[in-house]
Amino acid sequence: MEIRINGKEITDAAVEAEMVHHVQADRPFDDALRALAIRQIVLDEAAAQGIDVSDAERATAELLDRSVAVRAPTPEECRRHYDGNLARFTQGALVEASHILFQVTPSVDLELLRRKAGDVLERLRQAPDDFKALAAECSNCPSSGIGGSLGQISRGETVPEFERVIFGEHTAGLVGRVIETRFGLHIIRIDRRIEGRVLPFDQVKGQITQALGAALADRAARDFVTELVSRAAIEGIVIEPGSQVLVQ
């Protein structure tokens, strides 16, 4: 069955071209199809409002500026965020960590790689002293030559999904699950923590206000797009909340 959005067909060739931007997703086809469908819905709304859609990115930004009302975070919201995330506002904290990286490439079988990483993690649970040897044997990171050691890491030096783990609630030792980041799958061992100093609220209030404001803007934009999707004429697929796409 043909897939049409407001009467316009999404071709197999278009989906194939879009999939190169979603190769690390669990379901690249679904993600690509959803992205194309939502892009068409948004551009159709922009055109209906008289916006020039020859530049899709600019048209989308102008549509959101026109259509989405964004409120500023309240002082109470900022304070609650600060109190609930004190670790993020700690200066001078360092973590010494090591990892084993299983790199994800476009040609890799992701499920097979996950099973391999899980097997190595289980081996380390049984024999923690084998970390250095297994890093040398399995890791795709240059740190494999020094037992997987990443040395001392401060906040902002790694990707967010890695940072959340090493600066989170984990104590020293092996992290109990495989961590997935944009670079691949990681087995992480925290070797040592150096605690820092919590910055006072007044010093970080502006930073928190900006971050919460961006989050509120993102949520408002998502709600707006969800409303557009609910009104669009969609044939051949069902776009579920979140990222799921059902082909009819």
Give the pLDDT of residue 195: 83
Q: Is residue 116 part of a domain?
A: yes
Q: What is the pLDDT of residue 248?
A: 42
Q: Are residues 61 and 152 in the same domain?
A: no
Which amino acid belongs to residue 185? L
Distance from C-alpha of 18 to C-alpha of 169, rounded to nearest angstrom: 38
Distance CA 61, CA 101 (A): 37
Mean pLDDT of 124-129: 96
pLDDT (mean) for 119-131: 96
pLDDT above 70: percentage of residues in the chain: 96
Per-residue pLDDT tens over the stretch 65-107:
999 999 999 999 999 999 999 888 988 889 999 999 999 988 8
Mean pLDDT (whole number) for 193-208: 93
Query: Is it the case that residue 245 has pLDDT exceeding 60?
Result: no
pLDDT tens across 166-200, in order?
988 777 899 999 999 999 999 999 999 888 899 99
In a domain? residue 85: no
The answer to the question of residue 83 being in a domain is no
Same domain, residue pair 103 and 183: yes
The pLDDT value recorded for residue 242 is 57
What CATH code is carried by the domain that includes residue 116? 3.10.50.40
Residue 77 located in a structural domain: no
**Count of the separate structural domains present in the chain:** 2
Tell me which residue range forms the domain holding 47. Answer: 4-72+205-247
pLDDT, tens digit (0-9, with 9 covering 90-100), for 1-37: 689 999 999 998 998 999 988 888 888 888 889 999 9
The verdict on residue 175 lying in a domain is yes
For residue 186, the cross-strand partners are: 101, 179
Asked if 101 and 177 sit in the same domain, the reply is yes
Q: Please report, rounded to a whole number, the percentage of residues in the chain having pLDDT higher than 90.
A: 74
Specify if 200 maps to a domain. Answer: no
For residue 104, being part of any structural domain is answered with yes
Task: Please tell me the predicted confidence (pLDDT) of residue 87.
Answer: 80
| Residues 187, 219 share a domain | no
